[in-house]
Copies of this chain bind each other. A is one copy, B any other.
Amino acid sequence: VSETDRSDEKKAASTVATIRDVAAQAGVSTATVSRVLSGGGNVRADLADRVRQAAAALRYQPNRLARNLRVRETQVVGVIIPNIENSFFTAVIRAVDEVLQQASYSILLGIYYDCPARERAVAATFRAEATAGILFTPGPESAGAYEALLDAGVPMVSVSRRAELPVDFVGVTNYQGAYDATRHLIQLRHRRIGFINGPCTVSTAVDRHRGVEAAFRDASLAMTPELEVETPWTHAGGYLAAKKLLALSERPTAILAGNNLQTLGALEAIHESKLEIPRDIAVVGIDEMPWATSLRPSLTTVTLPCAEVGRVAAQLLLDRIKDSERTLQNVELPTKLVIRASCGWE
């Protein structure tokens, strides 16, 4: 093996074939290669064959970076969420991914851990990465974070929580879900219902608060303010909130918890207090909870159509990418009260 051969080998091993290599090998221009491989124009069959053979032989993979720069668009969609350890978001992402993979988009994942600064940072990064679109669940102070994206005309849809921005939205009927859960508890003769809610700085918490309130009102009852506690959407948040509720001189006979993590925390607090579900206290959770049926007693929940939320979100984004002028969409998907064993039976 000569010196030259060796260096060629080395080059072949560490370097990647480009469109020029394919063109040279096939004896055509790069334009023709591009036409053959990217589908577009008509190319004579024999040339096309030569190109395909050359591409295969060189294991040619088009460099997406170059294509992106040239056509000024990418095949990646940014997904911005507050927390990946929350099963609501993972269930949504799963559905989003299925639709997006179908449409040849990849997901760039941005997690901001309920931190406004990180949310801004992620949004700025995605702007720089020139994502084809953004799916986001905004935090409480998200106002400024998405401005640059909006200015740049990047298609966006907000998911689950409404954004104060002119973007498409898909969420669930939080008002109705909270209403249904509360009415169910009221019908079971509960009057002191502890309500563990997220911070009322995001739309989901506000809507749920209103739903609970309305259910009381419709039953000619009133909410007891000390029984609603706003706490972070976390396990610790739910735990602390439940502790507080259970320590009340007149403790609640039922607890309604705002999301899956809070519910987990509340359950832990209840178990620590040696209360028995549903005999001593009823529990309803609002959210996606894969473990609801594995609990004993199984947990009554307001289920959210996570997969549907994800699918619709992805579809709205795809539609918006295709047509930036279409009117703003606003979708609310129905929640469903699923009665299991954690509230007992009438």
Contacts and interface: CB of A to CB of B under 8 A. Distances in A.
Q: What is the interface residue range for chain A against chain B? A: 35 or more
A106 interface: yes
A319 to B, nearest CB: 19
Nearest to A341: B271
Interface centre among A68, A110, A151, A294 (most CB of B within 10 A): A294
Interface string A189-231: 0000000000000000000000000000000000000000000
How many copies of this protein are present in the complex? 2
A99 interface: no
7 contacts: A65-B65, A65-B130, A75-B125, A85-B90, A267-B294, A267-B296, A271-B296
Contacts of A151: 13, 59
Contacts of A75: 125, 129
A144 interface: no
Interface in A22-49: none
A111 B97 contact: yes
Nearest to A154: B16
Contact of A111 (B94, B118, B148, B261): B94
Interface in A163-178: none
Contacts of A298: 271
Contacts of A126: 106
A109 interface: yes
Contacts of A85: 87, 90-91, 94, 290
Contacts of A291: 264, 291
A63 interface: yes
A268 B293 contact: yes
A299 to B, nearest CB: 10
A128 B64 contact: yes
A297 to B, nearest CB: 9
A114 to B, nearest CB: 13
A65 B59 contact: no
A23 to B, nearest CB: 19
Contact of A84 (B59, B93, B106, B121): B93
